[in-house]
């Protein structure tokens, strides 16, 4: 008799597992890249334009510095035989100093741009959440996962563009 109850319990477990897995198979799931959705939205693009626009002077300065280094390198290449050892060493030092200044400027600009981009993303995260909620309600998603947390995903599940559209629609 206990034998029959054990078999019935196993059969009941199997039936529950099969029925719950079929219910799960019907779930509508999406995957989204929050950063991409935010930065591709109209507000995100405007913010990135402002961030990039703030560094036009530094980019021009970098171009000028690159021209100066190029001129010094050409002089070094062309006039090496005519220079004394002291002149040669000074020119090498000038080139090294210029490259160091360029590297420092590039690092500063990249760091500030990254920090500004992070602040922009943080400032638009609530708008992103609103767009996700609007998408869930309008298209009946059961689950939207962050793209970074998923080991494998098919592009059919990527709802990033839909979320960007919802963000833009919320703005209007």
Q: Looking at residue 58, what is its pLDDT?
A: 92
Indicate whether 172 pLDDT > 80.
no
Closest-CA residue to 139 (of 31, 29, 63, 57)? 29
Indicate whether 15 pLDDT > 80.
no
What whole-number distance in Å separates Cα of residue 2 and Cα of residue 19? Answer: 26
What whole-number distance in Å separates Cα of residue 87 and Cα of residue 105? Answer: 27
Dump pLDDT digits (tens) for 50-77. 999 999 999 999 999 999 999 988 888 8
Q: Looking at residue 57, what is its pLDDT?
A: 92
State phi, psi for 158 to the nearest 5 degrees.
-75, 115
Q: In what helix (H) or strand (E) does residue 144 lie, and over which residues does it extend?
A: strand 143-146
Residue range 138-153: mean pLDDT, rounded: 88
Cα torsion 131, 136, 141, 145: sign: positive
pLDDT band at 42 (very low <50, low <70, confident <90, very high): very high
Residue range 25-31: mean pLDDT, rounded: 83
Q: Looking at residue 121, what is its pLDDT?
A: 96
Among the residue ranges 12-21, 96-105, 107-116, the one predicted with the least confidence is 12-21
Indicate whether 13 pLDDT > 60.
no
pLDDT band at 25 (very low <50, low <70, confident <90, very high): low
Q: In what helix (H) or strand (E) does residue 32 lie, and over which residues does it extend?
A: strand 29-32
What whole-number distance in Å separates Cα of residue 127 and Cα of residue 41? Answer: 10
Q: In what helix (H) or strand (E) does residue 4 lie, and over which residues does it extend?
A: helix 2-25
Q: Looking at residue 83, what is its pLDDT?
A: 79
Q: Which residues of 140-156 are buried (b: 16+ CB within 10 A; e: fewer)?
A: ebeebeebeeeeeeeee
Indicate whether 2 pLDDT > 90.
no
What whole-number distance in Å separates Cα of residue 35 and Cα of residue 128? Answer: 9
**Whole-structure pTM over 0.85, yes or no?**
no
């Amino acid at each position: 008799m206990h034998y029959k109850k054990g078999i019935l319990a196993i059969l009941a477990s199997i039936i529950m597992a099969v029925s719950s897995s079929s219910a799960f198979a019907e779930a509508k799931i999406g995957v989204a890249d929050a950063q991409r959705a935010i930065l591709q939205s109209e507000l995100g693009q405007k913010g990135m334009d402002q961030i990039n626009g703030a560094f036009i002077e530094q980019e021009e300065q970098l171009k000028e510095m690159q021209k100066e280094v190029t001129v010094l390198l050409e002089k070094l290449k062309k006039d090496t035989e005519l220079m004394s050892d002291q002149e040669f060493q000074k020119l090498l030092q000038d080139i090294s100093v210029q490259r160091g200044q360029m590297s420092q400027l590039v690092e500063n600009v990249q760091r500030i741009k990254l920090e500004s981009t992070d602040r922009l993303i943080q400032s638009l995260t609530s708008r992103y959440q609103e767009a996700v909620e609007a998408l869930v309600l309008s298209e009946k998603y059961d689950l939207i996962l962050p793209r970074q947390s998923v080991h494998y995903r098919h592009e059919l599940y990527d709802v990033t563009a839909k979320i960007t559209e919802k963000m833009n629609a919320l703005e209007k």
